[in-house]
C-alpha cells in the first residue's frame, strides 16, 4: 500500500510564508504526478498546484506568483513553498500522488494539513 504523509502546516500571519512537504512511500511502487489541493470550510476541494513526472507544473490562478511546487524524485517527496500568504489561503491542504505497481495505477491522498492565515 502507498502512504502519503503531509507536514508543515500551521498558523501564519498575513504576508507570511510556509513550506509544506509531502512524502510518499510504498514497496514496489513507482510515483508519477504529485500535487497539492486545498479545501476551505464549506467549499469544494480545489487544485493548488501540480507537478508531473516529466517536470511540468501547473498552478491555480489564485496562487500564481506566490506558491511554488517542487519535488525530489529520489525521495518521492513533493514540496509547496507558499509566500505572501493571504487569509483566503486558509484551508486544509492535501497532497495527491499518482502511483503504479504491477500495471495498476491509482491516486493516493494524504490526511491533510491545516494552514491558517490570520489577518
Look at strands 10-13 and 113-118 and give their pairing: parallel
* Residue 62: all three cell numbers together: 489564485
The conformation of residue 43, written as its DSSP 8-state character, comes to: S
pLDDT, one tens digit per residue, over 11-58 is 999 999 999 999 999 999 999 999 999 999 999 999 999 999 888 999
Phi, psi of 89 (to 5 degrees): -85, -5
| 71-75, 84-88, 89-93, 107-111: least confident range | 71-75
Taking phi first (over 0 means left), then psi (-120 to 50 degrees means alpha), and beta for anything else, what does residue 48 get? alpha
Contact 63, 50 (CB under 8 A): no
Amino acid at each position: 500500500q502507498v502512504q502519503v504523509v503531509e507536514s508543515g502546516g500551521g498558523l501564519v500571519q498575513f504576508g507570511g510564508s510556509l513550506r509544506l512537504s509531502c512524502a510518499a512511500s510504498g514497496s514496489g511502487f513507482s510515483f508519477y504526478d504529485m500535487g497539492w489541493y486545498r479545501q476551505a470550510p464549506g467549499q469544494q476541494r480545489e487544485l493548488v498546484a501540480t507537478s508531473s513526472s516529466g517536470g511540468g507544473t501547473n498552478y491555480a490562478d489564485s496562487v500564481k506568483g506566490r506558491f511554488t511546487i517542487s519535488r525530489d524524485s529520489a525521495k518521492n517527496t513533493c514540496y509547496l513553498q507558499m509566500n505572501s500568504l493571504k487569509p483566503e489561503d486558509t484551508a486544509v491542504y492535501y497532497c495527491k500522488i499518482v502511483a503504479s505497481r504491477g500495471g495498476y495505477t491509482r491516486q493516493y491522498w494524504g490526511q491533510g494539513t491545516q494552514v491558517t492565515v490570520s489577518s
